[in-house]
Homo-oligomer: A and B are copies of this chain.
Amino acid sequence: MRVSIEFAAAKSLSYDIFIDELEEIVVRGKAAVITNDKIAPLYLEAFKRKIKAKEIHEVIIKDGEKYKNLQTMEYILNELFKFKLDRKSTLIAFGGGVVGDMTGFAAAVYQRGIDFIQVPTTLLAQVDASVGGKTGVNNHFGKNLIGAFYQPRAVYCESGFLKTLPNREFAAGVAEIIKMALMFDKEFYEWLEKSDLNDETNLKEAIAKSIKIKADVVAQDEKESGIRAVLNYGHTFAHVIEQKTAYSQYLHGEAVAIGIVMANELAVNLGLLQRDEAQKIEKTLQRFSLPTRYQIIDINSFYETFFLDKKSADSKIMFILPCGIGNFAIRDDISEDIVKKTLEVFK
């Protein structure tokens, strides 16, 4: 005997990303702001005054990628239960990518899902992490391995927060901007090559352009079954570097910068990218004070670590490679030999 269950198609989902338009955030029930111990002393009190809610609570976690794990998640969830948040409550992520990813995941699983809003305070989170609904935590097997696709209700990017951002964190965000330009918009990349992002007008322009690219890609492929994977350019290598350095030596965007250089080297070896283009890109990354080199100690161990990546289904490694600037190839058929030969350059 067979019983079929058929759900009606879910309504289409949309939300807005506001750039420099945050005046107040109004939520219907209780709100809880999730932030970290670096942001809280600087901005939390002023930020809370912008929130209109029945009750406003706060959860302050420690700053850093190494706290992005299930233990911190459980701490956040326990706090939310203590505040007696209900299904009509809203979480507000107020911080960088770590805060955003964890807040989104907490919202996804708290009482099987409540609303959340992103208020990213770092450049990287503004241009990349806060848009698109990838949420989750790391574990000792790798990055973002536990999580959910769960979209926010709105994203508020305020360039004002970037004024106090340390230089390294600013550069880390620029790495993701360069990544998007290289894959999708040659003109934008060429503009980036010569522009000063310390100039406020230029910075806003770069943020808006990156968000538009990201939103466009994600809207086409929310669950990353196709084109969204292109946003992982540089990340296949970056995730290995981050894991090998215990998430403590490089900021995510810094690892991505090195990963872009490694992916480019592979693309050059495969004849997809000209050597001089690869060199130009490396120079651009360096111009924004990004690291471009990482010394691989053990090629085999580095190679094995690729296979822990989520994208490596069926024991194939997926590489996102530039085909010139503004074009890309998604490849999962590259031989171990060619990859290891590429890695040798970084030994």
Contacts and interface: CB of A to CB of B under 8 A. Distances in A.
A310 interface: yes
B13 A1 contact: no
A187 to B, nearest CB: 18
Contacts of A312: 86
Contacts of A204: 1
A16 interface: yes
A5 interface: yes
B8 A109 contact: no
A109 B146 contact: yes
Contacts of A131: 5
Contacts of A14: 4-7
A215 B4 contact: yes
Contact of A313 (B87, B145, B219, B223): B87
A67 interface: no
Interface stretch (A134-142, A240-248, A335-343): A134-142
B6 A12 contact: yes
B3 A147 contact: no
B6 A18 contact: no
Contacts of A74: 70
Nearest to A136: B112
B147 A208 contact: no
Interface in A112-139: 112-113, 131-132, 134-136, 139
A60 interface: no
Contact of A215 (B3, B9, B16, B84): B3
Contacts of A313: 29, 86-88
Contact of A222 (B7, B88, B208, B308): B7
A144 B87 CA distance: 13
24 contacts: A1-B18, A1-B21, A1-B208, A2-B16, A2-B19, A3-B16, A3-B17, A6-B12, A7-B12, A7-B13, A8-B12, A78-B139, A81-B139, A86-B313, A86-B314, A105-B109, A108-B148, A109-B146, A111-B145, A112-B135, A112-B144, A112-B148, A112-B310, A113-B223
**Nearest 5 pairs of A and B residues by beta carbon:** A6-B14, A5-B215, A1-B19, A9-B12, A81-B141
Nearest to A106: B146
Interface string A287-327: 00000000000000000000110111111000000000000
B77 A139 contact: yes
Given A81-B141, A88-B314, A109-B147, 8 more contacts: A1-B204, A3-B208, A5-B17, A7-B12, A7-B13, A8-B12, A9-B10, A78-B141
